[in-house]
Amino acid sequence: MDAAKAPATPVIDSAREKDEILYRYRGLLRSIRGDRSPEDTRLIRKAFNIALEAHKDQRRKSGEPYIYHPLAVARICAEEIGLGTTSVVCALLHDTVEDTDLTLDDVRDLFGPTVTAIIDGLTKISGLNFGTDSIQAENFRKVLLTLAQDVRVILIKLADRLHNMRTLEGMARDKQLKIASETLFLYAPLAHRLGLYSIKSELEDLALKFQEPEVYADIEQRLKKGEAVRKRFISRFMLPIREALDREGFEYEIKGRPKSIHSIYNKMLKKNVAFEEVYDVFAIRIIIDTKQELEKADCWKVYSIVTDYYQPNPDRLRDWISTPKANGYESLHTTVMSPGGRWVEVQIRSRRMDEIAEMGLAAHYRYKDDEEHAGALDAWLNRVREVLEDPTASAIDFVNDFKLNLFSDEIVVFTPKGEMRNLPAGATALDFAFDIHSQVGRQCIGAKVNHKLVPLSHALRSGDQIEIITSRKQQPKEEWLTYVVTARARHNIKQALREQKRKLAVVGREAAQRKLRGWGARVDDRNVAALADHFRATSPTDLFYRIARGRVDLDTLGTPTVKAGRLVLPRHVPREEERSLEDVVAEIRGTASGALVIGDDLQRLDYRLSPCCNPIPGDDVFGFITVGEGIRIHRVNCPNAVQLMSNFAYRIVKARWKGKDSVEFLAGLRFSGIDEVGLVNKITSIISHQHNVNMRSISFESNDGIFEGKVMAYVQDTDHLMSLIGKLRRVNGVRSVERVDH
């Protein structure tokens, strides 16, 4: 489980090391919140001693004693997630069963069934051969399945992943990319869904740090540079509000927090703006100490005070106090105009709300009377369990469906009787039908949204009231999968389609058996297999299904030859078997000249540059081995990289550019600015004459004095491209120039 583990090497256990281990253990005890009984302390000490003994010969990549890792994970569980004794014990032992001689039976004897179940959920799948595309997806599936028993498995797994990300420096570049991609693909969205915002933000930031080190360092440096200015601004901005809060007798705390580096970078990409143009680089948080029954009214009082002094943006009010997010997040967000002419986001919440926002799910256990919001989380966990109950889905489908339940943006919609339902943004009328009940979804033929008839694929908006129209004759169809975004709906549709396929297969089997009898052949598996092979069906069930649907016509065989009850069918060219990785590599390894060197042994291979990100020499790239299409080269920051590295890490090969050949590569540039006479001529002159670049296409659009242009041109490498971008940025009137993938 530890990403930074090294093979055991004999080292002298110095007195200083022992002191450090003891110091960290005491720090762990101090970090545990709430009352701790002598029995709790005894259990934690016992787990610590066992872990210390089990890992005594292991060390991390950094050379540190391995015990530092479980101690750090346990401390994250206690200090940053707020978990109790059982979780701390499990965190201390989380790698023992996987990496040492300790067995689950030993754990059961020493600590009982609860700790054993959690440790089992945390133990990786290893040494087993799965009929699946991805061992990683199987690992994700196992971790997620344990949600059905104990959510602490996920929380400890997140703590484990956070510590691994914090200590990823010593790993090889390809390992860093794989682990960072897994983190972005599953663990950060999972932390978000469980309400662990600070952990989610740190996981995303660390993933960006290893995927795009230059981008990360640049934004980090800019944030540090502006820190003093930000503090002065916040101090001045809050002065009148502080005075008003004091007059009203509020007990409060004010925090000025910069947004996470990852969210700033995302905003820059999404809105296509520079760092300076991201207006909400930081948010001001006002946390009030108030009783639970008064907190909603008091938060609105504070909102009223803030908007007395500063003009709010009506489109940027987010009220998650009246309608909390499904993961229990509550807060009042508003964006107001400051005297300096910049927008500032202000978040208003109570101390209880702040704890739940920081600690997520675990904090709910400390507010036992918070039935309503704990209930929302239980409802989500129950939905997750529904999806988990289906053992037939492939691991990758399973993880992709599950991820649909993790993303954060939500809408609130209503049933005809006014019952409120939370759905992810982009959910359709069909998603809503399945959210009501699986049977309602399966029989849905249409819907009325705000009393108007709409199709099943109609995207819902917050505040919509939906009435579902059903028919007993309706059955789910294949295209329904393109109408839905929720995991629950996808799971139910797939299940229904499989049931339909099984029923049709029964009809097809009877038809095939009748034919076999009519031909005088035996009705047995061997003859059925011969038919399946002849018609290139993937299995007997697939053959029967295709017969029932009319896609296979047995009459085309006429009256086949039958010898001793056996069918003798004309031979077809056998289907091409899926080739092994070694076969693919062997076939594509050649002497063709290319600018790319791939693999650990740095041998030249044929490759294709992937059209989804158009890599050029100088880009940070990796190779992905496809089946049948050789190696595809992607940029490390390609939109598809996270999914490929998460689910198919074993098909990723190292790639780097060798030398600078005279080959030219297609790259795209987008630029915008203020329209001036002769501007197009200047730009084309720089591209084609000063830089000797061949253009494939160029287009300009001008609208009310603002122009936007795009050029696709052939360049030799990233240096050539960056030099061209630098020249274009110096042209009068050009405001921004950036590379585009297509």
**How far is Cα 394 from Cα 532, in angstroms, rounded to an integer?**
23
98 assigned to active site: yes
**Is 390 noted as a catalytic residue in this protein?**
no
Tell me the CB-side half-sphere exposure of residue 84, using CA atoms within 13 A: 14
Q: According to DSSP H, which parts of 564-622 are helical?
A: 581-588
Catalytic residue among 2, 80, 99, 619: 99
From residue 37, alpha-carbon distances to 34, 43, 72, 219, 616 in Å are 10, 10, 22, 46, 62
Nearest Cα to Cα of residue 156 among 251, 221, 77: 77
What does the angle CA 264 – CA 266 – CA 272 come to, to the nearest 5 degrees? 100
Q: Is 148 exposed, middle or buried (0-12, 13-18, 19+ CB in 10 A)?
A: middle
**Which of 17, 57, 98, 280 is the catalytic position?**
98
Do residues 537 and 552 make contact, with C-beta atoms less than 8 angstroms apart?
yes
The 3-class secondary structure across 408-465, one letter per residue, is: CCEEEEECCCCCEEEEECCCEHHHHHHHHCHHHHHCEEEEEECCEEECCCCECCCCCE
Strand residue runs (E) in 267-380: 282-289, 311-312, 318-319, 332-337, 343-350
Kind of pairing between the strands at 343-350 and 332-337: antiparallel
What does residue 673 show for φ and ψ, rounded to 5 degrees? 170, -160
Cβ–Cβ under 8 Å, residues 179 and 164: yes
687 secondary structure, DSSP code: I
362-to-82, 117, 356, 374, 402 alpha-carbon distances in Å: 6, 19, 8, 10, 21
Evaluate whether 276 touches 264 at the Cβ level (below 8 Å): no
**Pairing, β 343-350 against β 282-289:** parallel
For residues 295 and 353, the answer to whether their CB atoms sit within 8 Å is yes
How many whole angstroms separate alpha carbon 512 and alpha carbon 535? Answer: 13
Q: How many residues does the chain have?
A: 742
Which residues participate in catalysis according to the annotation? Answer: 98-99
